[in-house]
Amino acid sequence: MNRRELFKALGMASFAWSSCANAQAPGRIPKVGMLWHAGSAEEEGAYFASLIQGFKDLGYVDGQTILFEHRYAHEQYERFPSLARELVGLKVDALMASILPAARAAQQATSTIPVVFVIVADPVGSGLAESLARPGSNLTGMSNVSEDLTAKRVQTFKDTVPSLKRMGLIVHPGGQSPPRVFEEYRAAATVFGVETVVLEARTPAELDVAMESASTRRLDAIASAPDSMIFNSRGRLADLALKSRLPYMGSNLDEATAGALLAYGPNHADIFRRSAAVVDKILHGEKASEIPIQQPVTFSLRLNLQTAKKIGLVIPPLLLARADEVIE
């Protein structure tokens, strides 16, 4: 081999190495860390199962071709930073974050390990990414909100409860949804002639107080902004709304299953399942900065007729026809 051929061969080898630098070495089992907001796999329920199923669908076998390190915050978001640092210390190949506070903790814990967030309403506005098309750093993942989702939720609520004039909005300050989302609810409600009364809750106990104050504040109905703490109290909130005979709209489909009158939004379990494909791309050498953030493309309306009957509400026939799922 002459000198020209030698340098050409070395150049090709160098290019091949740089292209595969992020890929897994043959025979090495990749390790993936996951920051969950609840207290256990059982509490995460369908979301935990959907994530694992997503990896199975791609051919991964836990303990054989992939290793998982799960960490649970027990709804104490201040624990996320230490849990993220712990996973970084384990030298995971990818770090997954279930919600926005977890993603922020991961962002602070590492600038080199790829981070994949799963349920984040506004990745760009939250400072996790430069743009949806090109995140630009070591973070990418999934968004659970499209631009006009809030407006569609409010419109659907108004169509369900035509007499709606004063709507309570349960929010978790500092939680999963950025303040912009709260203002979107207020702006959308104004278009339909509905006044919005914000009901803040920073703990599960305060959720009870917020819901119980609805009747004294003469509200016609209650909605909740997207948030994991609110979601985990979905059964309790549905019961309290029913006790006050108030229509209650959740932001997650499973809230309607738990007893809310209705919910409109994406299938969150499916978002968790599809997030496995993003991690798979990273494990095969793609850079997080160049993997576009995915937004939901399909949304469903779930109505609970059992709840409607209990509060004496007749659902308009046109809305029933629009519903993707009806709980009878």
Count of the separate structural domains present in the chain = 2
Give the position of tokens 């549905």.
238
What's the average model confidence in pLDDT over 249-272? 95
- Whether 176 contacts 226, CB under 8 Å: yes
Domain presence at residue 99: yes
What's the average model confidence in pLDDT over 290-311? 94
- Regarding whether 179 and 65 lie in a shared domain, the answer is no
Question: Is pLDDT above 50 for 10?
Answer: no
- Regarding whether 122 and 34 lie in a shared domain, the answer is yes
Question: Is pLDDT above 70 for 184?
Answer: yes
**Residue 192 identity:** F
Domain presence at residue 12: no
- Regarding whether 32 and 125 lie in a shared domain, the answer is yes
Distance, in Å, from the CA atom of 168 to the CA atom of 223, rounded to the nearest integer, reads 6
- Regarding whether 166 and 136 lie in a shared domain, the answer is no
- Regarding whether 99 and 41 lie in a shared domain, the answer is yes
Q: Hey, is 171 helix, strand or coil?
A: strand
- Residues paired with residue 300 on neighbouring β-strands, in sequence order: 265
- Regarding whether 310 and 209 lie in a shared domain, the answer is yes
pLDDT at 144: 83
What's the average model confidence in pLDDT over 11-37? 64
* Number of alpha carbons in the 13 Å side-chain half-sphere of residue 180: 11
- Regarding whether 170 and 52 lie in a shared domain, the answer is no
pLDDT at 229: 87
pLDDT at 13: 40
Question: Is pLDDT above 50 for 9?
Answer: no
pLDDT band at 23 (very low <50, low <70, confident <90, very high): low
Instruction: Report pLDDT digits (tens) over 63-90.
Output: 999 999 999 999 889 999 999 999 999 9
Query: Which is it for strands 166-171 and 67-72: parallel, antiparallel or unpaired?
Result: unpaired
Instruction: Report pLDDT digits (tens) over 112-164.
Output: 999 999 989 889 988 999 999 999 999 999 998 765 789 999 999 999 999 99
- Regarding whether 171 and 206 lie in a shared domain, the answer is yes
- Regarding whether 232 and 202 lie in a shared domain, the answer is yes
What's the average model confidence in pLDDT over 290-295? 96
Supply the CATH number for residue 286's domain. Answer: 3.40.50.2300
Question: Is pLDDT above 50 for 295?
Answer: yes
- Regarding whether 130 and 167 lie in a shared domain, the answer is no
H/E element holding 3?
helix 3-19
pLDDT at 147: 59
Report the mean per-residue pLDDT for the chain: 90
Distance, in Å, from the CA atom of 140 to the CA atom of 133, rounded to the nearest integer, reads 10
